[in-house]
Amino acid sequence: MSVAVLAGDPYDEALIAQVHPRDWVNPTPAPWYNLVVLGAGTAGLVAAGGAAQLGARVALVEEDLMGGDCLNVGCVPSKALIHSARAAWALREAEAAGILVDRSAWRVEGRAVFERLRRLRASIAPHDSARRFADWGVDVFLGRGRFTGPDRLEVNGATLRFRRAVLATGAGPRPFEVPGADRVEILTNHTVFALTELPPRLVIVGGGPIGCELAQAFARLGSKVTLVGRGPRLLSRDDPEAADLVAAALRRDGVALRLGSRIERIESPNGLTKRLTIRHEHGDQTETIDAEAILAAVGRAPRVEGIGLEAAGVAFDPVRGAIVDDYLRTTNRAIFAAGDVASPDKFTHAAEAQARLVIRNALFAPWGLGMGRASRLVIPHCTYTDPEVAQVGLTEGEAIARGFKLRVLVHEFAEVDRSVVEDETAGFVKLIAAARGDRILGATIVGRHAGELVGTVTLALTKGLGLATLSRLIVPYPTRSDALRQAAGVAEQAFLFSPGVHRWTRRWLSWVRG
C-alpha cells in the first residue's frame, strides 16, 4: 500500500477492514458493465455509487485504500491534526479572554494527538467501505486495474468489459528531486499521518496549502518548524494580501519562513539528524538547517502511468494528467475522467462535482444530447490555516489579466462586531465586481471560518446573483457573514450617498413636506 499505516494499531486495522479488507473476495465479473470505474477516491466513489443507485451495472476497481487521499492522507487526517493544534493554541491564548491557565499543568502529548487522528479516520471509514458499495450493487474489485483495450479493463486476471468507463485514479506526491533526498527518509502527506510522536524540529518544503496548513499545525503543537518555499510568497494561487496575512500568522505561531529559497542538498551527518543546505536566491546566500524530520509538500502528480491508457486510446500528460474536453471525455469517447487525475482543481469537492457530471454525461446524454460542461462548475477552494483563506471565481489579479474593468469592494473583519468581541479581527472580505452593473466576478475571504462564508458567494456566482442581492441579504447579528453584506453594500452606498442623489432626495423630501 502506498499509504503508511501502523501494523497492529487497532485504529489502522479498523480502517483497513473497511476500505481494503484483507479477506475480500472479488466477485465474478458480469458479461458487461454500463460503467467501470478505475479508482475509489472521491471521484470514483461518487461516480460508482451514484450510477449504481440510479440502476446502472457498475464495477469499481481499487488497488490501494478506498476513500482515496481525502479519507486516508488528506482532508480527514489533516483537519483532525489542525483541530488539536487549534486547541493547544486556544489554551495559550486563553489569558487574553480572561481565562487564567496554569501552563505548567498541561502539555501536548504527541502520541495522543496522532492516536486521536487515527481513531477519527477509522470512524469515518465506513462511509467509503467496500461492503457499503457492494450493498449498493457495485461489483467491488480490489487489485491493480489496467486497461487492455478501448472497452475493457483487467484486474487480478479478470476482464471487465464496459460501455463506459471513468478514470479516477487521482494524484500522488510529486517526486522530491533534491540531491541526497534518496538517502534519507522524506515524509509526504502519504506518510506524515503515520507519525506517533511530534518531531522536535521539522522542515517543510513547499509554500502551498498543504505546506502552510501543516507548518502552522505542527508549530502550534510544539515542533520547531521551518518552511522553505521556492516562490517569493506563500499560496501563489491566492490573493497576495491574503498570502501576506497567512505569512504573518505563521510567523506569529513560530514558523521560520525561508521564501525565495531552494534546497541544494540533503545529508544525514549522524544517521538521525537531517541537514539541509538551502540557497536564498535573494542575496545568493546559503544556510544549513538541521531537523529530525523533513516533509515534502511540493505538489501532486496525476496517476497516469502503468494503467494501460495507451491500450485504451486515452491521451495523457505526466503533468496535466488525462486530457479531457469540457464534457470530461478523454480521447476515447467511451472513457471519461474526473478528479485529480484530470483536473487542475485538486479538491475533494471538485472531484465530487465532476463525478456527478460524468454520471450525467456518460449514462444519461444519448448521442451527446444534454451533456453538461465542466467549465460551468463554480468551484471554491479553501486553505485551512488560521486565518483561513477561501477563494471563488477570479482573484483581482486574474480579473485584471483577463481585461476586466473592476470595482474591488473590501470589508475588514476588524469592523465586524462578532470578530471584535472574539478577538479574531485579522482578515477581510474582498469582492471582485465588474466596473459597471453589479456582476460579481469572484471573492477572496480571509479569516476564521472563511471556508464556511465563501459558500454564500459561490451560490451567488452559480445563480448569477449580483451585488444588490448580497447587499440586501439579511443575516443574523452578530455574525461574521455580515462582512459579506457590508462589502457588497459599499457600491450601493457610494451611489445612494453621492452628491447628485443627495441633492435629488433633498428636493423630493422638501416637495413632499410642502
Known binding-site residues for NAD(+) equal 206-213, 299
DSSP lists the bridge partners of residue 5 as: none
CA dist 52 → 57, 214, 217, 218, 428 (Å): 6, 37, 39, 41, 44
Known binding-site residues equal 79, 145, 206-213, 299, 340
Neighbours of 294 (CB within 10 A): 25
H or E element at residue 74: none
Q: Are 225 and 256 in contact (CB under 8 A)?
A: yes
Known binding-site residues for FAD equal 79, 145, 340
Which one-letter DSSP state was computed for residue 187? Answer: B
DSSP lists the bridge partners of residue 288 as: 277
Q: Write phi, then psi, for 42 (nearest 5 degrees).
A: -60, -50
Block residue for cell numbers 475571504: 445
Distance, first Cα to last Cα, the chain: 84
Q: Are 324 and 168 in contact (CB under 8 A)?
A: no
What is the spatial distance between Cα 496 and Cα 504, in angstroms, rounded to a whole number?
A: 10
3-state helix, strand, coil split of the chain in percent (to 5) is 40, 25, 40
Cβ burial of 508 (10 Å; 0-12, 13-18, 19+) is exposed
